[in-house]
Amino acid sequence: MKKISILLSLIVSVYTQTATEPNGDGTSNDPFIISNINELYWVSQNSDSWNKDFKQTANINASETKIWNDGQGFTPIGNNNNYFSGKYDGGGFKIDSLHINATDSYKGLFGYLYQADLDSIGLTNVNIYGFHYIGALAGYARTKSTITNCYSTGKIQGYWGVGGLVGILDFEEKVEYCYSTVDVIGTVRAGGLVGGNSTRSRISYSYSRGNVTGSDNTFGNTSNNVFNDQIGGLVGMNFNNGMITDCYSTGEVKGTSNVGGLVGKTAYGSWASQSFWDYELSKIDSSKGGTKKSTAEMKAYKTFKDAGWNFGTYWDMDNTVGIYNDGFPFLTWQNNNQTLINYPPILSAGDDITMDEDSYHARGFGISDTENDNIIFSAKSDTNAVTLSITKPFESYILKMTPNANWHGVANISLYASDEFSTDSSSLKLTVTPVNDAPVISAIPDDSTNEETEKAIVVGASDVEGDALTYTASSDT
């Protein structure tokens, strides 16, 4: 029996978490330095520090959290009784394999944010299970918290307010330049990036690529009969003037009620602009906000350029080999601002053209290309009545447009400038106005007659326009 008691004692000592107070005093000039799991654990256990400043300086392996607290895992920083209102700068480092397995609410690295500032935090391979307000980075964010340059991967499951990055944003929160590939399972209000976006909160320049699945799991809740509702690829519910701009989602979305490729449900003045979802990968053809696109369109620079997205400053894209982020847009900071996009040539058709029939028009086109790639210029007309020919005598391309003889009408001319990877297009309208052509008299052979003898001559004529003709004749003697 003595040997058994010693063995048990050793097991307990191995599984005991250690809190190590970090260096720094928590001020903006001397933030607490977080470099390992013991220092991160210290933060979670010292609520007096939750209004201070923190800076992470190394990647952290959090896999041991799986066995913490009798298997309940990591205790979030901040809760509904004591908020986190400080600043945490992740420094671009990551926290890997964070585990939470609990039946209560406000779960994530941070449980409850209030006027907090989170920046450059990476959470990889999270495994989080909880009840209400569940997210990899934060369960609940309230009152002007700011989250920038953060990301998450892994899997999350919860009942209500479940998001790949944040569970619920409530009252003028900002999420910018963030992404998630977390697979999310939620019963009510579940989204690939955010479960619910509320009360003038804004999500911008962000995306999600994880799958989102609506669940019928009640988590023992008998007070609410709403299940498998408000399920969206990016956001489950966007309401009370919630704003989404310059965002996209691609993951598969499954649900029963209020299911959307980008947004599951929207209400009370909320909107999503310049945002898209992949209807082929999501297998969802509708959304309460955003514009559906095919997978090919979601990998095309033109889709986002036409929507006014800022490539170079916020966004980048691997549109050459399509490896990085599978060819979908990504945030510039993800690749350390090393540009991958090959910008398409820039082509402008210029003003529409009006010309008379039975003539031609030639116009020069200058085409620019950022990478100075070889350019192929082509054009086509929507009618065979206009012949197009292209020459390049010098640096500019010359397009000659020649209508068929006596043809008039409108031709729509499409122009294309292509390099090896992408194409820019433009168009112009060619209007050919009719010209009243003179009638044509058929040839009249010379003839003769005797004096004082009448001679009848047959005269024929034609007119292209089919106008009525009046015949007159005169003699020079």
Encode pLDDT of 275-331 as tens digits.
999 999 999 999 999 999 999 999 999 999 999 999 999 999 999 999 999 999 999
Residue 430 has pLDDT above 90, yes or no: yes
Which element (helix H / strand E) includes 303?
helix 301-305
388-to-266, 366, 417, 418 alpha-carbon distances in Å? 50, 17, 15, 18
Residue 11 has pLDDT above 50, yes or no: no
Q: What pairing do the DSSP bridges indicate for beta strands 330-331 and 315-316?
A: antiparallel
Which element (helix H / strand E) includes 38?
helix 37-45
Q: Is the pLDDT higher at 239 or at 226?
A: 239
pTM of the model: 0.83
Please tell me the distance from the alpha carbon of residue 314 to that of residue 173, in angstroms, as a whole number: 20
Q: Tell me, what DSSP letter sits at residue 49? A: G
Please tell me the distance from the alpha carbon of residue 336 to that of residue 331, in angstroms, as a whole number: 9
Please tell me the distance from the alpha carbon of residue 345 to that of residue 330, in angstroms, as a whole number: 21
What is the arithmetic mean of pLDDT over 255-272? 97
Q: Is the pLDDT higher at 437 or at 132?
A: 132
- How do residues 184-216 score in pLDDT, each as one tens digit? 999 999 999 999 999 999 999 999 999 999 998
Please tell me the distance from the alpha carbon of residue 136 to that of residue 121, in angstroms, as a whole number: 11
**The pair of three-digit structure tokens given for residue 287, joined into one six-digit string:** 């959304």
Please tell me the distance from the alpha carbon of residue 10 to that of residue 25, in angstroms, as a whole number: 35
**The pair of three-digit structure tokens given for residue 189, joined into one six-digit string:** 């209000």
**The pair of three-digit structure tokens given for residue 439, joined into one six-digit string:** 């009638």
Give the torsion through C-alpha atoms of 277, 280, 286, 288, to 10 deg.
-20
> Looking at residue 7, what is its pLDDT?
42
Nearest to 97 by CA among 79, 122, 76, 77: 122
312-to-285, 329, 338 alpha-carbon distances in Å? 31, 11, 10
- How do residues 327-342 score in pLDDT, each as one tens digit? 999 999 999 999 999 9
Residue 12 has pLDDT above 60, yes or no: no
Degrees, nearest 5: CA angle 16-21-24: 160
The count of residues in the chain is 477
What is the arithmetic mean of pLDDT over 138-150? 98
Q: Tell me, what DSSP letter sits at residue 337? A: T
Please tell me the distance from the alpha carbon of residue 426 to that of residue 59, in angstroms, as a whole number: 48
Percent of the chain with pLDDT over 90: 79
Backbone angles phi, psi at 360, to 5 degrees: -140, 165
Residues in contact with 316: Cβ distance below 8 Å, sequence separation at least 6, in sequence order: 329, 330, 331, 332, 334, 335, 339, 340, 341
Nearest to 162 by CA among 99, 65, 229, 78: 229
* Res. 349 pLDDT band, cuts 50 70 90: confident
* Res. 218 pLDDT band, cuts 50 70 90: confident
What is the arithmetic mean of pLDDT over 384-407? 92
- How do residues 38-91 score in pLDDT, each as one tens digit? 999 999 999 999 999 999 999 999 999 999 999 999 999 999 999 999 999 999
Please tell me the distance from the alpha carbon of residue 410 to that of residue 291, in angstroms, as a whole number: 32
Considering the chain, what is the average pLDDT of its residues? 92
Nearest to 88 by CA among 45, 133, 26: 26
Residues in contact with 454: Cβ distance below 8 Å, sequence separation at least 6, in sequence order: none
Please tell me the distance from the alpha carbon of residue 54 to that of residue 15, in angstroms, as a whole number: 26
Please tell me the distance from the alpha carbon of residue 446 to that of residue 326, in angstroms, as a whole number: 82
> Looking at residue 6, what is its pLDDT?
40
DSSP bridge partners of 388: 401
What is the arithmetic mean of pLDDT over 128-148? 97
> Looking at residue 15, what is its pLDDT?
58
Residue 380 and residue 357 in contact, taking contact as beta carbons nearer than 8 Å: no
Residue with tokens 């990877």: 421
The 3-state DSSP class for residue 334 equals: helix
* Res. 247 pLDDT band, cuts 50 70 90: very high
Residue 445 has pLDDT above 90, yes or no: no
Give the largest CA-CA distance in the chain: 156
> Looking at residue 56, what is its pLDDT?
98
Please tell me the distance from the alpha carbon of residue 325 to that of residue 337, in angstroms, as a whole number: 15
Please tell me the distance from the alpha carbon of residue 225 to that of residue 240, in angstroms, as a whole number: 23
